[in-house]
Chains A and B, each alone.
Chain A
Amino acid sequence: MVSAARILTYQGIPVWRHVQVIQWAAQIISSIVVVALVVWFFTNISGAIQEREIPYGFSFLSREYQTPIGEHFLPYESSDTFLYALFVGITNTAIVAVAGVFLATALGIFIGVSRLSTNWIVAKLAMVYIEFFRNVPLLVQLFFWFYIVLELPGVRESIVIADVLYLSNRGFSMPWPKATDYPVALIWLGLAVVAIVAGALVYRWRDRMEERTGQSSYPLIYGLLVAVVIGAAAWLVLSFASGASPFYVSVPEPQGRFGNIVGGFTARAGLLVLLIGLVMYTASFIAEIVRAGIQSVGRGQTEAARALGLSPMNTLRNVTFPQALRVIIPPLISQFLNLTKNSSLGGAVAYSDLFNIAITMTQTAPSVSIFMLIMASYLAMSLTWSLIGNLYNRQIRFVGG
């Protein structure tokens, strides 16, 4: 136990200059400030809600929405509920976000590597790209792409490629597989997953063998072969059993008085514009992140790889880039988050993303509740990205060493 004598004879630093006392005081004061701000925030909201009779509550979620949703990937009827419509909005946003992230990452890596190219023209072009798209506001870029897409021919004068691809200012249509019979299609999809898993296992087995024996064991070829064979066999068996193939290809075709394209898959103009805008914009940031990552890898690594006789491409792929990933991943995740959140600008170009569906709901439902739902949904999506990114980051960090 602490002896009283020690306290009484305390001759150390004065209390007000003691670093631990100062730190504790700072902690306590800042937490009081935070709590006070949160309390003030909530009392202010509830006060305003009462004073101005702003409606509030969540009972509307089970009511029929009865409002059109322009673009939806899930089936949607106007008799569906608000809750379901919100879910439709979330999937719309998720689709743009996932597609955008993949495309932006691919383009960003390409531009970032080009930026470091020894070819003067390629490097300068990449630099001009980055500086242009990084420095012009996203909304302006979206309107720019919107007007470019509007300049495409009208739907009746669509650009037709090989009778199956249609491009007009209403969007881009292409053939798309459609399920003939849902249960059969689902069974085949299940078997396809099995095929992919089997292929992956074979790949790993051959890969280990190659490592162990030092002889080429063609893991990729073996893996693909196994997956394709199982998938094809399942397809044939199911086709014979049910009398029709599980999927058929739906080909787009102009129909009716207005010549709108029916069948296949149509990426409508809003989706195209939003996706192009988001990808071009985000790729410029990703390019800089990639460049910084590559430059952070010690020069000795490159020199050693080249000395061993690796080609520049192999050096980048097998030596520099894997090490650069550790620096790249964390800022890359925040770009994914940005892309997801920026997709809320979709309303400007007629894409029905979560934000625009939800804001339309404020017409017929309490807006305070709706804004809470919007915030919760975006938060959930962002946290999902962070989770995925952090898991991947854990996998590629330094091990041992």
Chain B
Amino acid sequence: MKRTLFLFVALSALVLVLAGCTQDTSALESENASLQSQVSNLEAQVSTLEAQVAEQSAEMESMTMMEGSRLDAVRERGHVICASRDDVPGYGGLDAAGNNVGFDIDLCRALAAAVIGDPNAIEIRLITAAERGPTIQSGEVDMLVRTVTWTTSRDAGWGNYAQTMFYDGQGFMVREDSGVTDALDLAGATVCVTLGTTTELNLQDFSDQNGLDLTVSTFEDTDAVVAAYDAGQCDSFTNDNSQLAALRTALSNPADHVILPNTISEEPLGPVVPHGDDQWFDIVKTVMGILIYGEAYGVSQGSVPTAETGNTKVDRLLGVSGSFGQAELGLDETVAQDVLNAVGNYGEIYSRHLGPDGINLPREGGRNALWANAPCTDCPKGGQIYSAPLR
């Protein structure tokens, strides 16, 4: 240590002494002068370089500003990244060929069709329920569509909810031979639930409010919840009613199980986008609007008109006359044609995955019917599915 210190002091002293020597020696004065001129030369070069660097960093900054726009980032990347699931038929499940398909997946495909023009330009990140918050907060995905319930604290903390695409409510499934016919009969029961969901929170409220003293088993994966319930590790399984219906088909003997009539919560489900990019938020809202509007105005997949139809609202939707703000959103004039050709309208997506061709949830007369079929806005169908006017 002492030696090292000595060496350091010695080295620095050496440098000083040498520098002093050069100054003192008159024979080296001329050389000194030439060196000085070189130094000033170099200084000039440095200042020009500095100016260049400043210019470049300004350029970089403007580039990062551009990168700040998620739309440009997505187009640059060439695909949309959505966080979703593959474990619940209807919303996001695997078909016979092993493809990830479902209602939530189609919403992602619609977005890809709108901003890139290709519904297959998507990347699905499979995440657990508990990972949803951190995933969307980090901004690593462009959209979160994983049966996410809209709550105010999530809206404040996670990201922006674009539009409710499905109205659900929480229910309970029990074995038929348990004799339970009402959720209030569940006192003392063990209930299985997925970790990190509103379902888990509502279950606590319901148990406290009615003094049911429920025992809760929380699993990270829905698959494990289903396996545990199926093997009788829990007396009841709670989830959104539509998911219960879908997951009942995965049980070893679906007919032995009933879904109780009680609905204990409101679960409005819809896509979420990261905070901090209004344009992207508006794009997602608009794409969801296009799907609903498409159904309301009878524009369906495979028969999307490309020329004027005479109906001003349809023409505006399809971009053949007028505008609903495509330019401001950075979208093509004919974006609705791309979207509806790629995935169909809301009703078609619904019947494909949640309706008769999917898990067969009733729609007519329920909350997930359209509010009204345009152009007859005065003859309501009673549903809650409704879009802001596209104009």
A52-B275 CB under 8 A given contacts A66-B201, A78-B204, A356-B218: yes
What 0/1 pattern do residues 252 to 274 of B give for CB contact below 8 A with A?
00000000000000000000001
B17 interface residue per 8 A CB criterion: yes
Chain A residues positioned under 8 Å from B208 (CB to CB):
78
Q: How far is the CA of A125 from the CA of B306 in the complex (A)?
A: 74
**Chain A residue at minimal CB-CB distance from B221:** A348
Q: Is the CB of B130 within 8 A of A359?
A: yes
**Which chain A residues numbered 330 to 366 have a C-beta less than 8 Å away from chain B?**
347-350, 352, 356, 359-360, 362-364, 366
Chain A residues positioned under 8 Å from B36 (CB to CB):
none
A150-B276 CB under 8 A given contacts A10-B14, A68-B204, A257-B188: no
Q: How far is the CA of A55 from the CA of B153 in the complex (A)?
A: 11
Q: How far is the CA of A169 from the CA of B193 in the complex (A)?
A: 17
Q: Is the CB of B231 within 8 A of A151?
A: yes
Q: Is the CB of A356 within 8 A of B220?
A: yes
**Which chain B residues numbered 298 to 324 have a C-beta less than 8 Å away from chain A?**
none
Name the distance in Å between A335's Cβ and chain B's nearest Cβ. Answer: 25
Q: How far is the CA of A48 from the CA of B275 in the complex (A)?
A: 11
Chain B residues positioned under 8 Å from A66 (CB to CB):
201, 204-205
Chain B residues positioned under 8 Å from A7 (CB to CB):
10, 13-14, 17
What 0/1 pattern do residues 1 to 28 of A give for CB contact below 8 A with B?
0101011101000010010110010000
Q: How far is the CA of A78 from the CA of B204 in the complex (A)?
A: 7
Q: How far is the CA of A28 from the CA of B335 in the complex (A)?
A: 58
B216 interface residue per 8 A CB criterion: yes
**Which chain B residues numbered 1 to 28 have a C-beta less than 8 Å away from chain A?**
3-4, 6-11, 13-14, 17
A360-B137 CB under 8 A given contacts A51-B276, A70-B217, A169-B231: no
B235 interface residue per 8 A CB criterion: yes
Give the tally of cross-chain contacts (CB within 8 A).
Answer: 151
Q: How far is the CA of A52 from the CA of B332 in the complex (A)?
A: 27
Q: How far is the CA of A151 from the CA of B231 in the complex (A)?
A: 7
B154 interface residue per 8 A CB criterion: yes
B215 interface residue per 8 A CB criterion: yes
Q: How far is the CA of A258 from the CA of B186 in the complex (A)?
A: 9
A147 interface residue per 8 A CB criterion: yes
B139 interface residue per 8 A CB criterion: yes
Q: Is the CB of A170 within 8 A of B233?
A: yes
Q: Is the CB of B188 within 8 A of A255?
A: yes
Determine which of A53, A352, A367 lies in contact with B276 in the assembled complex, contact meaning CB atoms within 8 Å: A53
A67 interface residue per 8 A CB criterion: yes
Q: Is the CB of B275 within 8 A of A350?
A: no
**Chain A residue at minimal CB-CB distance from B68:** A51
Size category, A interface: 35 or more
**Chain B residue at minimal CB-CB distance from A154:** B232
B203 interface residue per 8 A CB criterion: yes
Chain B residues positioned under 8 Å from A268 (CB to CB):
217
B39 interface residue per 8 A CB criterion: no
Chain B residues positioned under 8 Å from A75 (CB to CB):
none
Q: Is the CB of A2 within 8 A of B218?
A: no
Q: How far is the CA of A10 from the CA of B192 in the complex (A)?
A: 80
**Which chain B residues numbered 138 to 179 have a C-beta less than 8 Å away from chain A?**
138-139, 153-154, 156-157, 178-179
Q: Is the CB of B231 within 8 A of A260?
A: no
Chain B residues positioned under 8 Å from A155 (CB to CB):
232
Q: How far is the CA of A213 from the CA of B216 in the complex (A)?
A: 62
Q: How far is the CA of A4 from the CA of B13 in the complex (A)?
A: 8
A residues contacting B by CB (< 8 A) are 2, 4, 6-8, 10, 15, 18, 20-21, 24, 48, 51-55, 66-70, 78, 146-147, 150-151, 154-155, 169-170, 255-258, 260, 268-270, 347-350, 352, 356, 359-360, 362-364, 366-367, 371
Could you write out 21 A-B pairs with CB less than 8 Å apart?
A8-B17, A18-B7, A24-B8, A67-B200, A68-B193, A68-B214, A147-B227, A151-B231, A256-B188, A257-B179, A257-B188, A258-B235, A269-B217, A347-B218, A347-B219, A349-B219, A349-B224, A359-B131, A360-B195, A362-B130, A364-B201
A-B contact sample (16 more), CB < 8 A, given A21-B7, A348-B219, A363-B196: A2-B9, A7-B17, A8-B14, A10-B14, A52-B274, A67-B201, A68-B193, A68-B216, A68-B218, A150-B231, A256-B188, A257-B188, A260-B189, A348-B220, A359-B130, A362-B134
